[in-house]
Amino acid sequence: MNRREYLKLAGVAAVAPLALVDSNSAAAAEPAKVETSLKRLNLRHTWTTTMSSSEYRETVQVHYSKEGISGYGEGAPIVRYKEYPEAAQKAIEAIAGQITVGDPFEYRKLLRQIREALGPGQHAAMAAVDIAIFDWVGKKLDVPLYRLLGIDPKDAPITDFSIGIDTPEITRQKTLEAADFPVLKVKVGLKTDEPTIEAVRSVTKKPIRVDANEGWTDKEEAIRKINWLESQGIEYVEQPMPAHMLEETRYVRSKVHLPIYADEACTDASMIPKLVEAYDGINVKLDKSGGILEAIRWIEIARALNLKVMLGCMVSSSCTVTAAAHISPLVDHADLDGNLLVANDPWRGVRVDKGRLILPTGPGLGLTPA
């Protein structure tokens, strides 16, 4: 795909080319070009969680080009952390001229410099640039990202499929539509939790995980709900209480059997050690960590602390979800279905066969235009 085709595909309104300033070596002689655009992803179903309800999501697309090779990346800013698409795009454009590392093979140093230049609170923007650079490096070496990172794609876990909050009737219907997936993740955290789970259970016996998205604010309520969920054959619970209620969550965990995973409570590597008393595991997302390199660091920190790890995603195209899928063999549970919720995915990448993640074998992310 040439640049013009890509821009058309990405629905670019305005292109702001920005030459990153290069230094040293012959390999770095030609400056990299970074182009950004916003892409509106339309959802197949209205998506409802405790936090929001929406028909579409906007993501930031990054095209990193150098030496005739294109790397593509994407970031889905998370409103919960006050990140927004336009601001993410502006942040990337604003670092023009500040980057002195010219060789993408020095990606550790390059990405650190970009992270510093973007400043705090730009995790999705950081993810978009990080993914694009890894795609570029893989393409330049002609190896898939998983090989570049020393990962065996056969170890990829099963991904679940998420069911948003809805009426019992539609929940039943969505459960039936997810027949191909051996594991489901159901959004809870409202007054309607019991009817929701009963609706799912009325049509399937398969393993279910739930995500309360900080919805239970009373610890006794959380204990009651989790113990009831255990009776319904639920596997684990994600973020039962608000992120800041660490002490309450620790108390809840001491009173229940189901494992508890931190999502909203885990937004920085430095927070992971503090979660050990209150949680059994963490949910890593590229849009929270700011890309692949930092996500791997989170996974390794969690492992060192005997925490379990799940790998999640936001509503994104196959670009981000494929990037995450390449590191999924490093985690216990995958929740990588954000692209499957999108009606106008511009890319083809990771495939899912009965929940099994099948990584593309092409160089870099291995994406092809849809």
Q: Which is nearer to Mg ion, 238 or 248 (CB)?
A: 238
Beta-bridged to residue 334, according to DSSP, are 159, 311
Site membership for Mg ion, residue 263 (CB under 5 A): yes
* Of 184, 203, 245, 249, nearest in space to 223 by CA: 249
Q: Which is nearer to Mg ion, 6 or 298 (CB)?
A: 298
Annotate 296-336 with three-state secondary structure: HHHHHHHHHCCCEEEECCCCCCHHHHHHHHHHHHHCCEECC
Task: Give residue for tokens 């936001």.
Answer: 314
Measured CA to CA, the distance from residue 283 to residue 213 in angstroms comes to 12
State the minimum distance, in angstroms, from the CB of residue 212 to Mg ion. 9
Q: Which is nearer to Mg ion, 115 or 285 (CB)?
A: 285
Residues 105-134 that bind Mg ion (CB under 5 A): none
Measured CA to CA, the distance from residue 360 to residue 356 in angstroms comes to 13
State the minimum distance, in angstroms, from the CB of residue 279 to Mg ion. 12
**Contacts for 107 with CB less than 8 Å, ≥ 6 apart:** 133, 134, 137, 293
Task: Determine how β-strand 234-238 pairs with β-strand 208-211.
Answer: parallel
State the minimum distance, in angstroms, from the CB of residue 252 to Mg ion. 17
Q: Interacting stretch for Mg ion, rule CB under 5 A, among 22-30, 163-171, 263-271, 316-324?
A: 263-271
State the minimum distance, in angstroms, from the CB of residue 263 to Mg ion. 4
Annotate each residue in 157-196 with x if it binds Mg ion (CB under 5 A) or - if it does not, as one string: ----------------------------------------
**Contacts for 25 with CB less than 8 Å, ≥ 6 apart:** 102, 103
Measured CA to CA, the distance from residue 304 to residue 313 in angstroms comes to 23
Q: Interacting stretch for Mg ion, rule CB under 5 A, among 43-51, 177-185, 235-243, 244-252?
A: 235-243
Whether 206 contacts 183, CB under 8 Å: yes
Q: Interacting stretch for Mg ion, rule CB under 5 A, among 55-63, 72-80, 227-235, 262-270?
A: 262-270
Number of residues that bind Mg ion (CB under 5 A): 3
Beta-bridged to residue 364, according to DSSP, are 144
Q: Interacting stretch for Mg ion, rule CB under 5 A, among 95-103, 115-123, 233-241, 324-332?
A: 233-241
Whether 346 contacts 10, CB under 8 Å: yes
Residues 191-230 that bind Mg ion (CB under 5 A): 211
Q: What count of other Cβ atoms lies within 10 Å of the Cβ of residue 67?
A: 12
Site membership for Mg ion, residue 337 (CB under 5 A): no
Q: Interacting stretch for Mg ion, rule CB under 5 A, among 47-55, 125-133, 224-232, 234-242?
A: 234-242
Annotate each residue in 5-24 with x if it binds Mg ion (CB under 5 A) or - if it does not, as one string: --------------------
Chain position whose Cβ is nearest to Mg ion: 263
State the minimum distance, in angstroms, from the CB of residue 118 to Mg ion. 24
Whether 76 contacts 315, CB under 8 Å: yes
Can you give the binding site for Mg ion, defined by CB under 5 A? 211, 238, 263
